[in-house]
Structure 1
Amino acid sequence: MNKARLLAEIDPQMACFRAICAEEEAATSLLISMKDQGYPLSDQYHIWSHENKAGVIVFIRAIINWSKSIYLEDEAGLGEPLLRSTDDPGRPAIEIVLPVKGAEIVLRPRPPLDIRSQGGTSLKDVIGSYLRSEVNKGLAAEIKAAIKVRANERNRLLYATDEALPGCFSNVEYYLKNQGGIVNALLTAVGLVDPWRKPDYPFSGLVEAALEEYVEVMKSGRR
């Protein structure tokens, strides 16, 4: 992202391309981490697929929106989640601190994303509901198509088509700022997932549920 910002004035097209590559590299780090840890279904995706990489942030946004709803609607009596750095796993990591309303105590889940559902609605379905709201699509194949459009942004920057020459985004400064936020969210996810490994920590329930929904969507539409 630093190089993208440096290039913005002299070569905005390449600046945007570098920003896309930054997102892809950060998303790949998360996909590789889950595969390396042996998360269920992590053998069902290809880490070098542009579509798979473009889809990661879409799922993270859905999870963020869901987590915000928990404390905004006061469903669990918890305050706004806080992110903190920690070395509890024996290496630099990120933890989630959950203030308990009405008490001077906080919760520190270990691992941070080990959240699980109880009752009739699965956590996978909850994530799926917020995912469909995020992209305004109802079917898995429709969500996959919307993600495919995102993945093709890099091609519009690099290659001519029958309709147009290679182009650039109209507001490069805004685009780079937005991409910076995406990269930050992806790297934060890596810090919440990668250091918290077996045998010291179990698989995270939220990661398992999100991965199940991710694989279902990204494999949809295949023949």
Structure 2
Amino acid sequence: MLSAVISIVVSYLLGSVSFSIVIAKWLKGIDIRQHGSGNAGATNTIRVLGKGPGILVFFLDIAKGIAAVILGYWLGSEQFGEWTAALSGLAAIIGHNWPVWFRFKGGKGISTTVGVIASLAFLPALIAGVVAIAAIALTRYVSLGSLLFAILTPILIAIIHYSLPLFVISLVLCLFAIVRHRTNIVKLVKGTENKLGAKKGT
């Protein structure tokens, strides 16, 4: 039990390392939350700093999720290893969204969610990821792709790779994504959402 708690706490602290904020501060001396959409994530990093830093943030945020799941499996007991891994992944995403190091104002957690889900259930994550990428490529709406990934994941886990811990965590992550993207959803419905490549966006 103690090892599981340690894994969850460490995963939250790891998730709280906002690479978008760190890299923007290092490269330009700015707080990225005060530029572009104000979101501390890969998409806004691309808009504000360019493709190179944005792609780096994307993969580093994914790595946080993978590391949290690995830590959960390592420290989790044989009986509750999957629960510990899933909860550690969730903790990393919570850390990304509400980072203790940066006054609890972080990103939307999609990149870290990709790392977590890919580590826990690779095939559902792969299929949802392909659909999300296709949607982004066709519409240039990153928010639409992110929401599709989050919504499809629990459905695909239920169909392809069902386990109670993964299904429960994927539902929670889906709810997180919808809540964090609520303004984007309104803009998508109204047709005013910013597309990838625009100078400003959400």
TM-score by length of 2: 0.31
More helix by share: 2
Query: What TM-score do the two structures reach when normalised by structure 1?
Result: 0.29
The structure where strand makes up a greater share of residues is 1
Which structure ranks higher in relative contact order (CA pairs < 8 Å, sequence separation ≥ 6)? Answer: 1
Select the structure of larger CA radius of gyration: 1
